[in-house]
């Protein structure tokens, strides 16, 4: 036994009784960091975010917008087929709906980018 650590005797334990320290143990820090100018060291605004505030990828947003439009068109197509429209009428109405949805999405995107500037 060394400083109260370890076995009373290594006999019968299957070990040699050698005690070694854990080199990978990280002791928790006792000093606390306060935010908003309190006592102690504080953080600057935006410090410590670790890249969490990245801008979204434009290509991914565009792909998601196209998927939402396509989903709406598939639902509309199912409704039109159930109502008994012919294939030519269904394709014509889908083209019209696609144009209106894309125009609405483009207008919304342009409005959103102007507000952010």
Per-residue tokens: 88: 């030519």
List, as own/partner pairs, every contact residues 105-111 make where C-beta atoms lie below 8 angstroms and the sequence separation is at least 24, other chains included. Answer: 105/65, 105/69, 109/65
Q: What H or E segment, with its residue span, contains residue 40? A: none
Q: What is the pLDDT of residue 70?
A: 95
Beta partners for 77?
none
Q: Is the pLDDT of residue 1 over 60?
A: no
Residues 32-59: pLDDT tens digits?
555 555 555 556 666 666 656 678 888 9
Task: List alpha helices for the chain, DSSP H.
Answer: 58-83, 87-116
Per-residue tokens: 31: 């000093």
Residues 72-91: pLDDT tens digits?
999 999 999 999 999 999 99
Q: Domains of the chain: which residue ranges?
A: 58-116
More confident: 100 or 4:
100
Q: Is the pLDDT of residue 2 over 70?
A: no
Give Cα 104 to chain centroid, integer Å. Answer: 27
Of 112, 81, 83, 77, the residue nearest 97 (C-alpha): 77
Q: What is the pLDDT of residue 16?
A: 78
- Give me the chain's average pLDDT, please: 79
Most confident of 6-10, 28-32, 41-45, 99-103: 99-103
Asked if 97 contacts 72 with a C-beta cutoff of 8 angstroms, the reply is yes
């Amino acid at each position: 036994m060394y400083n109260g650590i370890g076995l009373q005797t290594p006999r019968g334990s299957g070990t040699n009784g050698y005690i070694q320290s854990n080199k990978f143990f990280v002791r928790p820090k006792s000093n606390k960091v306060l935010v908003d100018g309190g006592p102690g060291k504080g953080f600057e605004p935006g410090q410590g975010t670790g890249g969490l505030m990245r801008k979204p990828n434009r290509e991914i947003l565009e792909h998601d917008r196209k998927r939402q439009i396509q989903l709406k068109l598939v639902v509309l197509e199912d409704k039109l087929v159930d109502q008994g429209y012919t294939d030519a009428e269904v394709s014509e109405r889908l083209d019209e709906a696609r144009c209106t949805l894309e125009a609405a999405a483009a207008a919304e995107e342009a409005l959103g980018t102007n507000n952010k500037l």
